Structure 1
Amino acid sequence: MRSVAIIGLGWFGLPLARDLRNLGWEVKGSKRTHEGVEEMRLWRLETYQLELTPEINADPDELHALLAVDSLVINLPPSDYFFDAHNYIQGIENLVNEALLYGVQHLIFISSSSVFPQADGIFNEQSPADENSTLYEIEQMLFQFDDIDVDILRFGGLIGNDRHPVYQMSGKSYPQGNSPVNLVHLEDCSRAVQLLLETPSGHRLYHLVAPQHPSRASYYSAVAKKLRIAPPNFDCSSQDPQRIIDGKKICDELDFVYQYPDPYLMINHP
């Protein structure tokens, strides 16, 4: 049986774990706290406590059980674990070095399209990223590992059936209403990870962003109306940045098909 460990069973990691288990994978995962571990075990997921400080804080036997897998998915957003970039980068590097000692053969790191500046342009995988970005620095570090397959997935703004940013935006005011959205549905992200796990092949970098990009003002106003909440208010200008993240490469190379190509399809009706 193919085996995978997901480091960070959060809002994305938990449904990913359940999807992979339903597909026949042996799935393990980690949480930072004892309470988090117990919560995951209620889902009948094999879960172990692990914290990066940036040292690896885990029971040695549990660490062995966690990392005795074929593949590793690292899903740890910087803000969740670390107070500074150095510790975050060092923690990820420590974890990968430890995984190599256990014979992990394939690594997937969940990154973000935030590696690109808020500027005009269409950004694909060949576009230069912000070299000061912590995530970009981690990406470059991970691609230095020659003896393991490494995939980097840069997610756009993540949307799920029970989670949409418009709820936090309701009634508030925002600039750049004419700028396009760069969103992706959680289910598409899970399917992309599944595809990469099934086809390890050297070092790869892919964007996960729905191919349609309505303006922020039109999109969030329409979503708020359908969800029957107060819409956010946007200042719109012809000078608003036209920043589009191109997510076609994974389609062209691996025949991936977005199930939610249109952000309007991501709305969970009340």
Structure 2
Amino acid sequence: MNSVAIVGLGWLGFPLAKHLQRVGWTVKGSKRTHEGTESMRLNGLEAYCVQLTPEVDADPDDLNELLSVDSLIINIPPSQYFFDTRSYVEGIKNLVNEALLHGVQHLLFISSTSVFPQKDSEYHEESAVEPESDVGHALYEIENWLLALNGVDCDILRLAGLIGIDRHPVSHLAGRQQIKGGNQAVNLVHQTDCILAMQLLLETRGYKRLYHLSAPQHPKRADYYKKMAQLLALDEPHFVTDETDLQRIVHGNKIVQELDFDYAYPDPYQMLPQAEQYFHQD
């Protein structure tokens, strides 16, 4: 039976763990607090308390159990480290080095399309990366370091803006006035597609791979968020549109072409946060 450890059992990691359990994987995971760890155990997951300080702070026996797996998914957003990006980078490297010492054969790092600048362009996996933020620089440093490792399979998955159960960016825009950039395209991906893509990467291991996850359709912000507010019975946001609005599109079709991945939510208009989903059913 294939085994995987998920470091970061949060909004994305927890439903991923439950799904992988359902399809036959042996799944372990970690949280940063003892309370969080106990909550995961009560939800049927083998969980351990691990903190990156940036040293790997965990009981040695627990760490040995956690990392006695075939694959390791690192799903820790930099924001959880209060944007102390240097500690974040060192923490991820320390965790990976521990995993390699324990014989982990496959690494999957969850990154972000924020490695690309806010500039007019269409971004593919082969596009030049020019981070503009500390977080973008940190993620790109980790990506390069991972892809240079020898003797281990490594996947990088860059996620666009996330939508799923109880999470939709329109909730932060509802009722706001004079929002700039109405003609900008949205770059979004649904939680379900993230989970299915990670399962696919686990099942089709390659040596070194880099993929984007971004829904194929990119409606304009003003049109999209107005419609989403209507569907969710929220106050409509008001956008200012201009012909000079940024045209930044992140493409996520490489994984479709190379691995026959099929987006469950190719159209952001289908991404409603209250929709019933398999990943949240017991």
How would you bin the TM-score normalised by the shorter chain?
over 0.9
What SS is found at the alignment partner of 1:94? helix
What SS is found at the alignment partner of 1:211? coil
Aligned to 1:146: 150
Q: Deviations over 1:159-180 (max 9, x none)?
A: 1033211112211242111100
Aligned to 1:102: 102
After TM superposition, list the pairs within 5 Å mapping 1:1-270 onto structure 2. 1-131=1-131, 133-173=137-177, 174-268=179-273
Q: Deviations over 1:40-70 (max 9, x none)?
A: 1111100000000100100000000000000
What SS is found at the alignment partner of 1:37? helix
Shift of 1:14: 0.3
Tell me the distance in 1 between the aligned counterparts of 2:240 and 2:143.
35
Fraction of identical pairs, as percent:
59
Aligned to 2:278: none
Shift of 1:268: 4.1
Shift of 1:83: 3.8
Counterpart code for 1:180: A
Tell me the distance in 2 between the aligned counterparts of 1:113 and 1:252.
19
Tell me the distance in 2 between the aligned counterparts of 1:40 and 1:114.
29
Counterpart code for 1:56: V
Select between 97-106 and 138-147 the one with higher mean Cα deviation: 138-147
Counterpart code for 1:22: R
Q: Deviations over 1:245-268 (max 9, x none)?
A: 010000000000101000001124
Task: Say whether the 8 Å CA contact 1:131–1:137 is kept in structure 2.
Answer: no
Tell me the distance in 2 between the aligned counterparts of 1:177 and 1:242.
11
241 and 42 in structure 1: CA distance in 2 versus 1, 3 angstrom threshold: same
Task: Say whether the 8 Å CA contact 2:163–2:273 is kept in structure 1.
Answer: no
Tell me the distance in 2 between the aligned counterparts of 1:257 and 1:3.
24
Tell me the distance in 2 between the aligned counterparts of 1:171 and 1:219.
14
Counterpart code for 2:224: Y
Structure 1-normalised TM-score? 0.97
Task: Say whether the 8 Å CA contact 1:178–1:238 is kept in structure 2.
Answer: yes
138 and 269 in structure 1: CA distance in 2 versus 1, 3 angstrom threshold: closer
What SS is found at the alignment partner of 2:262? coil
Tell me the distance in 1 between the aligned counterparts of 2:75 and 2:176.
30
Q: Superposition RMSD on alpha carbons, in Å?
A: 1.2
Counterpart code for 1:135: L
Q: Structure 1: any 5+ residue segments left out of the alignment?
A: none
Tell me the distance in 2 between the aligned counterparts of 1:104 and 1:73.
11
Task: Say whether the 8 Å CA contact 2:29–2:47 is kept in structure 1.
Answer: yes
Tell me the distance in 2 between the aligned counterparts of 1:177 and 1:159.
19
Tell me the distance in 2 between the aligned counterparts of 1:188 and 1:197.
14
Q: Structure 2: any 5+ residue segments left out of the alignment?
A: 276-282
Tell me the distance in 1 between the aligned counterparts of 2:180 and 2:142.
30
